[in-house]
Amino acid sequence: MARILVSLGGNALGTDFDELVETVGVIAGPIVGLIADGHDVVICHGNGPQVGMIKTSIDLGKAGAQDHRVMPLSECVAMSQAYIGYHLQNAIENQLMKHGLTKQVTTVTARAVVDRNDPLFSRPTKPIGAFFSEEQAQEYIHAGKTFVEDSGRGWREVVASPIPLRIVERQACRDLVEAGHVVISGGGGGIPVVVEDGWTQAIDAVIDKDRTSILLAADTDCDDLVILTGVEKVAIDYNTPRQRDIDEMSIAQAQAWMDEGQFPEGSMGPKIAAAIDFVRSGPGRKTLITSLDKLVEGLRGETGTWVVA
């Protein structure tokens, strides 16, 4: 049996609490299906809409207060790890009980080390929060925020997304997986920190969880990577009359399409980059990219996009 890292997209999880609970209830079934088949499962998840919702809610709630200070992104990432992990734990444990399985589900609040001098700090690309019209976005842009149009779906705020170098809690994650736990970690790409002269401190950013998924997969010796997102298949010429869904692509073809600009940096780009890196990391490794509700069908080869050597 395989050890599989399941990487859940933040957009696919939904933004508000009710939608999140409903979505994790849907995905918990297929995840427990993998466990019932004897696979070990490690879970990493995104947090783009959720961290934006947290930050906006807190900032708006404090607006006008005498000691008003905007909430740092690192704090919001930590909050999102806790509440998304909590709902995933509930949903997965409920499905385990339904299948008569006994297994501990554990969320590890994880920090990801980045380089303070990473040039990506000066080039924000990571979308967070809700979608806005162009008119609404322009108001925020005039207020000093950075917004971009996101694949025809609307305008979103973008923030710095540095490269994660390592997960601080990697040994704890590995120990828990070896002990038989279902581990949820690296949520939202991890809480960004810098370590200088042995001293750890937070830094404002949101790390792409697909890059952190590769680190977590390596740290826990995973055999396969499944990236679950909001679409059933990866497409080229997305959202145009020429759109074409892809069943399978080699890492060479994936890289060529990346170079053509087919996969935007703030959208599908990091997922394809992560898929390529994982396939290259060991013989026989493959990556599946598909939607939340197609996990089982994708692993059977019935749908989704496979990235192979």
- Check 48, 189, 271, 304 and give the catalytic one: 271
Helix (H) or strand (E) holding 64: none
**How far is Cα 126 from Cα 5, in angstroms, rounded to an integer?**
22
Active site annotation includes 198: no
Selecting among 47, 52, 126, 266, the annotated active-site residue is 126
Q: Which of 48, 52, 189, 209 is catalytic?
A: 209
Judge whether 10 counts as a catalytic residue. yes
| Residue that the structure tokens 């700090």 belong to | 121
Catalytically annotated residue among 9, 10, 129, 266: 10
271 is catalytic: yes
Based on the residue annotation, tell me whether 189 is a catalytic residue of this protein: no
| Separation between Cα atoms, residue 90 and residue 213, nearest integer Å | 22
Distance CA 194, CA 203 (A): 7
The answer for residues whose C-beta is within 8 angstroms of residue 305's C-beta and 6 or more apart is 233, 234, 245, 246, 247, 248, 249, 288, 289, 290
Taking the alpha carbons of 42, 48, 54, 59 in that order, is the dihedral positive or negative?
positive
35 closest CA partner among 305, 308, 295: 295
209 is catalytic: yes
Q: Which residues are designated catalytic?
A: 10-11, 126, 209, 271
